[in-house]
Chain A
């Protein structure tokens, strides 16, 4: 089976199929036949067979056979359609005497113009009739792929659809972006529907949490194995009919329905392992300053300490060689950098198992599909090697159940009911940019501070309290990692974070063919999520006597109850008028979202064992309620001309509770044109088998938060009683932001549709963009207020190439590639000041900023610089003088700005004269640092800031953007000897893609938690070592400025890297056991697979993983979720996983 050979959704034609089973007339006949591939002669399963001019139809079975009954007598034309193949029509004479035979041999086609879609179209329609793009992903695409979740199912399948994982923690959801970001302040996650019912697309924890990563996505509650098909609307032009919530795109998931016939059972079992990639974490590097404790104590004055205090410090916080040699079990000498691989103790082999079962079948009046799945994964993170009693874990367990039943009580009536239920248990360690995280504390440790003093005090272990059996461990309590602050990794591992969630989605759909030309469709549904989280710090979890954080314990609990109700009704009138066709749709949609979040904490337990929030001596509770109602009406007319030219005109009217009951209607129009000249009878271009040209323009919107409009005060009790405080400033004129998207595209099929090209250009302008504007804090209301003042522009190209390179009986090779180019600019912030992402934390440098004007001379505009949303602004080192750098703004515009000339001057101004020092001056300064008052000379070695725009703000230098210009995927699907299928998929990001490597910024620069990569340790050792030469010390100082100095007040300096990467994302090797052999095992079909995920990474990025991000889905505020991108913050690398699978059915 070719990767691209996806099935047309058979459910769209089910009424047709069943109609074929019902007797219409006594004078009818039967047509039988088989559908096979033209070259390989393999049977084609699931092809649609239609009797032209009637509603009669059938679907081919596992052997490619079909039967049409009740066929009118006479000359009958039958048409066969199957995605991945060219459609084909043929005529046959039907009589009542005997069944007619009509076989089809379909030629492969990589062009899918006849694929039927329904999302955003008002009804089932062929793709070729639409002027906009709709991406589709079929279950066959992911069947042989290493896919465990919905996020993985859609990742790397379509250009412009970004799936952003955040770390290698199991069960972590990915953020999804379609064509970048359409909003500066509102949710940029697409709206997601399952079988027409909107689902909770949230994620993360409630008030409990783990620090950034490991955040689950509610979309991953969708069982990826029940997905029949996914349709993706990429932008406003396609999503207009979804109105005020569709700025960010729409995803609709269709679940399996089954087919008529006897019960068919299918089963799947997977067993897998996962490993974190070797070398993802740099070893911890440090050095000893003293040979022994005595010499350390003698230097008390150097540190400004009393002898007593110095003695204590020498035993714990200062590197002393004799202690370190004992603890590490090897000889460590002063000023010689040594390394520890303590971090790796937190990794082991992870395990994965999956069991699923499915049964489907039915008869003339009912079809059904029932599925169940058990999924369990324990990731490579482990605490067992450090302390088996620790609680932190990295596991995810899910139980899925779903059922679909379709009834045909009358000939023109179809009823469908669906139910999906998922139960989740998820545990994740405290992680990410979190001073109490397990791996963050391990990565920030300083090996020279390794210390088993607490054990020594208790008389445990050797002379330094070390465990004689495992020298790099303490015999009892202690800090063998050398934590710089806050907590030891072992203590951090005693914290537990978990979530239990239940997710239900159900729908009822009625489809009624009122008259031959009019169809009514009504869907009612609800989606309910109930998620309970907790974070537990057990009583006296400070097992190393190190941390002071809430050592009497705390339990934080949170509950999120989200309910979404959907009402979707529409009427479709389809008719033909001479050479014109008309398809008119009118409908309405209503969505009600109700969410209640509540939780609290109790801290300071009375004793061990008690672990309930109510037992805490200090307690707090929270409770918030949210209700959003969206009502809309839509109308659309699509006119076709000779089945090759199509014009669509539609509109949506919308009202939202965010604006109250007196709000005006929001109006979103759309217009699109699709031309398929290759369908013209006169088309004779041998080289081009298929050609479609399309254009579309449309709008959709995004409403603000439910209560953003109102001026409100929030509860703020005092010791004297209940009270309140200013909260939301309010804005009476708030309205939805509006995105207008233009799209032009073409699809070309060459070489008999064996080579397909698909290209789309798009341009999106979001005007009246909602900006979180900060108003003066001195005016009382300190929170930002939404104002419709922004303008965000995005444009890009989507490319797809699909080629059937080889198509022989024993070998078929299909290669494919997709690429998306994305350019985003903030055209205006409406005068609002730049907005920093990530709150006040200065080390996150992502900003929303309006355009700047830069000058090459006074009054001479050199450049208007537009910033991509989330652009990195921060400190930079003064440049070298080779390019003649000048001020590009400010009072000294056009004049030379400070620069240095390697070989004569340096990027330091230690004499504070505003000019770079000479090398000799720097040498003098370095020597002075090595005096008694400077035990940490690097802390006083501060390079010169650059200020390109001359505005004296040294933290606003442009340092890059967190989104690549290009991203996409490529791969191949190979079938050998009909039974062996090999699928490979590579994914890449490239071009102006900058990652904030915050992890290494700390590990290079922070004197207390970090400065423990080899280079930084060597620099510090060089400056402190009395034996180092002046040349060595100067070289160290230069390296410090250019490669290592980071963090405040130099936020942004030396922490950004190119994030370009290529990742071998998927490998699937599947063997379809021949039927003859399968039957020996009592089954009809049997397949075994070996699949791998995240197999190899090619990148120049030096951090943990270029796909790691400091927050995961729902892991922060809305602004952070939108734009805190590409920040490497102590996460886990994506693990490499291998899975062995068996599938069989009967």
Chain B
């Protein structure tokens, strides 16, 4: 290095040292490193009583998003939707192949339900903390949040049991092994235990005169009826693929508890004017809350459209012009399906999703009666249901259609796009025209969705090999 020579001034050696000192001071300013994150809620907040309402609101969204997402997959595999788009993974489902863990859409829907289940359980834990600490009181933590937590938890569990062959109940930092298909019945059991607890607390609030609890109490009863009914269906088709389907009694499910809960739900709906005889628990979607997969994929991207079994396709075949389902008694266009399909289309990106309804409760009671040979009760329930749309009654004495066929039909139109169809097709032996003959839906009726790649590749207790069944 060349030495720099300069004449004149005396060196001022203090200046550089001061400068260096100042520089080093800058690096010692640790306070600068404490940066706020205004974008997220810290983990500790979920236990804060003041966050309880937001916690349950988040769980509500999480559960409703998950149900929407996985039901779209189910609806595509059933005859409710037909694939008319460009993405082959939808086509695989459409053809009746459900078990591919790498199917991108199944794999995308899976984590939404994974999160919803865990988050709902976490909310139950937090709400129990609040309850144990005596915080459930007006002005503090709204007591209605407590049964709501159980409702959401049960909804997640019932959806898992309805639509998946296997599941794993992991916790943060604690992966869990998968429950085998033959043991998935216990998922319904857990849901029913949750509902028992929720109903117990909701009943007590109702007895204490709470009006705010009534719609949630009704939902809890309606869901317990559905859970018990679905468990009875599972007994016939659920253990697939561990065991072949064992359809009995023409596929009719009979569960006394389900009927009792359904009747209780019907009674509550009729007794409360704000709920009414056609009460539904619906989930709404919007730009300011959460979006739903149904609206995005069907109404917006038009990857699927309502199925040929339900509608006449448009000229481009990307959407539909009119519904084609005819009421078996009037032989006229079915108003229930038409209303549902029209509302779904009008909902554009954000169609409403129906999770529970009095209609379903009546169908459960009717099916229980039919399974027991009680066509009078069956007729009462079915005709009350039909009267909601001013449809003529089914004549028990001179039936215009077989009772079981009518039940199939009423379930098809009243539960359209609610995630019940595939199980009904399996148990009633209905085969979609679009299913390939070699597909799982045809060769293994009872087959539902798998634990997908995202889970089995990341969960060491499941292992990657499970992705290749």
Using CB atoms and an 8 Å cutoff, list the residues of chain A in contact with chain B: 24-25, 53-55, 304, 309, 312-313, 315-317, 412, 435, 453, 484-486, 512-518, 520, 522, 546, 548-550, 567, 569-571, 573-576, 581-583, 586-588, 590, 592, 601, 603, 618-620, 624-629, 631-633, 638, 640, 653, 655-657, 659-663, 706-707, 710-730, 773-782, 832-834, 840-842, 912, 951-953, 955, 1006, 1008-1009, 1047-1049
Closest 9 CB pairs of A and B: A723-B57, A780-B118, A723-B58, A1048-B88, A515-B11, A712-B40, A581-B1, A833-B457, A777-B114
| B104 & A840 in contact (Cβ 8 Å cutoff) | yes
Given contacts A618-B286, A778-B114, contact A316 B24 (CB under 8 A): no
**In the complex, chain B residues 156-188 whose Cβ is within 8 Å of any chain A Cβ:** 167-176
| Candidates B1, B8, B468; contact of A951 at CB < 8 Å | B468
Nearest A residue (CB) for B43: A711
Q: Could you tell me the distance in whole angstroms from the C-beta of B236 to the nearest C-beta in chain A?
A: 26
Enumerate chain B residues within 8 angstroms of A952, measured Cβ to Cβ.
465, 468
| B37 & A719 in contact (Cβ 8 Å cutoff) | no
Enumerate chain A residues within 8 angstroms of B371, measured Cβ to Cβ.
none
Nearest B residue (CB) for A646: B1
| A724 & B54 in contact (Cβ 8 Å cutoff) | yes
A-contact 0/1 string along B24-43, CB 8 Å cutoff: 10110111111111111111
| A574 & B455 in contact (Cβ 8 Å cutoff) | no
* B283 interface residue per 8 A CB criterion: yes
| B118 & A953 in contact (Cβ 8 Å cutoff) | no
| A778 & B32 in contact (Cβ 8 Å cutoff) | no
Most buried by A among B64, B85, B350: B85
The interface stretch among B240-248, B309-317, B372-380, B414-422 is B309-317
Nearest A residue (CB) for B299: A548
| B86 & A777 in contact (Cβ 8 Å cutoff) | no
Nearest A residue (CB) for B100: A1049
In the assembled complex, 11 residue pairs joining A and B whose CB atoms fall closer than 8 Å, in A order, are: A55-B4, A435-B301, A518-B11, A569-B26, A571-B20, A712-B42, A724-B46, A725-B61, A730-B43, A777-B114, A840-B107
Enumerate chain A residues within 8 angstroms of B13, measured Cβ to Cβ.
514-515, 518
The interface stretch among B126-134, B287-295, B354-362 is B287-295
Enumerate chain B residues within 8 angstroms of A719, measured Cβ to Cβ.
60, 283-284, 286, 289
Most buried by B among A571, A632, A721, A780: A780
Given contacts A435-B301, A590-B27, contact A660 B34 (CB under 8 A): yes
Enumerate chain B residues within 8 angstroms of A603, measured Cβ to Cβ.
287
Enumerate chain A residues within 8 angstroms of B110, measured Cβ to Cβ.
777
A-contact 0/1 string along B60-73, CB 8 Å cutoff: 11101000000000
Given contacts A710-B37, A778-B168, 18 further A-B contacts (CB under 8 A): A548-B299, A571-B19, A574-B1, A581-B2, A626-B39, A633-B23, A713-B41, A719-B284, A722-B57, A723-B59, A726-B119, A777-B455, A778-B118, A779-B173, A779-B175, A781-B172, A833-B464, A840-B105
Bound CA span A626–B36, Å: 9
Enumerate chain B residues within 8 angstroms of A841, measured Cβ to Cβ.
104
| A777 & B111 in contact (Cβ 8 Å cutoff) | yes
Enumerate chain A residues within 8 angstroms of B92, measured Cβ to Cβ.
1048-1049
Bound CA span A776–B466, Å: 14
Enumerate chain B residues within 8 angstroms of A955, measured Cβ to Cβ.
102
Using CB atoms and an 8 Å cutoff, list the residues of chain B in contact with chain A: 1-8, 11-13, 15-16, 19-20, 22-24, 26-27, 29-43, 45-46, 51, 53-62, 64, 84-89, 91-92, 100, 102, 104-105, 107-108, 110-112, 114-115, 117-119, 122, 167-176, 283-284, 286-290, 299-302, 312-313, 315-319, 349-350, 433, 438, 454-455, 457-459, 464-465, 467-468
Enumerate chain A residues within 8 angstroms of B19, measured Cβ to Cβ.
514, 520, 522, 569, 571
Bound CA span A730–B37, Å: 13
| A661 & B33 in contact (Cβ 8 Å cutoff) | yes
Nearest A residue (CB) for B451: A778
| A453 & B315 in contact (Cβ 8 Å cutoff) | yes
Nearest A residue (CB) for B160: A778
Enumerate chain B residues within 8 angstroms of A317, measured Cβ to Cβ.
316-317
Bound CA span A721–B119, Å: 17
Enumerate chain B residues within 8 angstroms of A309, measured Cβ to Cβ.
312-313
| B39 & A592 in contact (Cβ 8 Å cutoff) | no
| B118 & A779 in contact (Cβ 8 Å cutoff) | yes
Enumerate chain A residues within 8 angstroms of B319, measured Cβ to Cβ.
548
| B170 & A778 in contact (Cβ 8 Å cutoff) | yes
Bound CA span A624–B88, Å: 35
Enumerate chain B residues within 8 angstroms of A313, measured Cβ to Cβ.
315, 317
Q: Could you tell me the distance in whole angstroms from the C-beta of B381 to the nearest C-beta in chain A?
A: 30
| A834 & B457 in contact (Cβ 8 Å cutoff) | yes
Enumerate chain B residues within 8 angstroms of A727, measured Cβ to Cβ.
40
| Candidates B59, B85, B108, B119; contact of A1008 at CB < 8 Å | B85
| B58 & A725 in contact (Cβ 8 Å cutoff) | yes
| A718 & B115 in contact (Cβ 8 Å cutoff) | no
Given contacts A840-B107, A1006-B86, A1048-B87, contact A516 B11 (CB under 8 A): yes
Enumerate chain A residues within 8 angstroms of B171, measured Cβ to Cβ.
779-780
Bound CA span A720–B38, Å: 23
Given contacts A653-B27, A777-B458, contact A515 B34 (CB under 8 A): no
| A721 & B54 in contact (Cβ 8 Å cutoff) | yes
| A707 & B114 in contact (Cβ 8 Å cutoff) | no
| B4 & A574 in contact (Cβ 8 Å cutoff) | yes
Given contacts A721-B57, A777-B115, contact A517 B4 (CB under 8 A): yes
| A316 & B315 in contact (Cβ 8 Å cutoff) | yes
Bound CA span A706–B466, Å: 36
| B42 & A710 in contact (Cβ 8 Å cutoff) | yes
Q: Could you tell me the distance in whole angstroms from the C-beta of A638 to the nearest C-beta in chain B?
A: 8
Given contacts A588-B27, A620-B287, A722-B54, contact A707 B40 (CB under 8 A): yes
| A631 & B302 in contact (Cβ 8 Å cutoff) | no
Enumerate chain A residues within 8 angstroms of B100, measured Cβ to Cβ.
1049
Nearest A residue (CB) for B289: A717
| Candidates A516, A590, A715; contact of B6 at CB < 8 Å | A516
Given contacts A516-B6, A520-B15, A712-B37, contact A718 B27 (CB under 8 A): no
| B300 & A549 in contact (Cβ 8 Å cutoff) | yes
| A567 & B1 in contact (Cβ 8 Å cutoff) | no
Bound CA span A660–B38, Å: 15
Nearest B residue (CB) for A25: B7
Enumerate chain B residues within 8 angstroms of A574, measured Cβ to Cβ.
1, 3-4
Enumerate chain B residues within 8 angstroms of A55, measured Cβ to Cβ.
4-6
Enumerate chain A residues within 8 angstroms of B454, measured Cβ to Cβ.
774, 777, 782
Bound CA span A582–B1, Å: 7
| A546 & B316 in contact (Cβ 8 Å cutoff) | yes
Bound CA span A575–B16, Å: 15
Bound CA span A912–B438, Å: 10
| B27 & A520 in contact (Cβ 8 Å cutoff) | no
Enumerate chain A residues within 8 angstroms of B87, measured Cβ to Cβ.
1048
Q: Could you tell me the distance in whole angstroms from the C-beta of A118 to the nearest C-beta in chain B?
A: 15
Given contacts A587-B23, A629-B33, A782-B114, contact A550 B42 (CB under 8 A): no
| A721 & B313 in contact (Cβ 8 Å cutoff) | no
Nearest A residue (CB) for B46: A713
| B301 & A729 in contact (Cβ 8 Å cutoff) | no
| A588 & B24 in contact (Cβ 8 Å cutoff) | yes
Given contacts A707-B39, A713-B46, A842-B102, contact A655 B33 (CB under 8 A): yes
Nearest B residue (CB) for A1010: B86
| Candidates A626, A726, A730; contact of B115 at CB < 8 Å | A726
Most buried by A among B5, B11, B40, B288: B40
Q: Could you tell me the distance in whole angstroms from the C-beta of A559 to the nearest C-beta in chain B?
A: 16
Enumerate chain A residues within 8 angstroms of B176, measured Cβ to Cβ.
776, 778
Enumerate chain A residues within 8 angstroms of B6, measured Cβ to Cβ.
55, 412, 513, 516
| A779 & B114 in contact (Cβ 8 Å cutoff) | yes
Q: Could you tell me the distance in whole angstroms from the C-beta of B248 to the nearest C-beta in chain A?
A: 31
Q: Could you tell me the distance in whole angstroms from the C-beta of B76 to the nearest C-beta in chain A?
A: 14
Bound CA span A951–B456, Å: 14
Most buried by A among B7, B45, B58: B58
Given contacts A453-B315, A912-B438, contact A775 B458 (CB under 8 A): yes
| B37 & A707 in contact (Cβ 8 Å cutoff) | yes
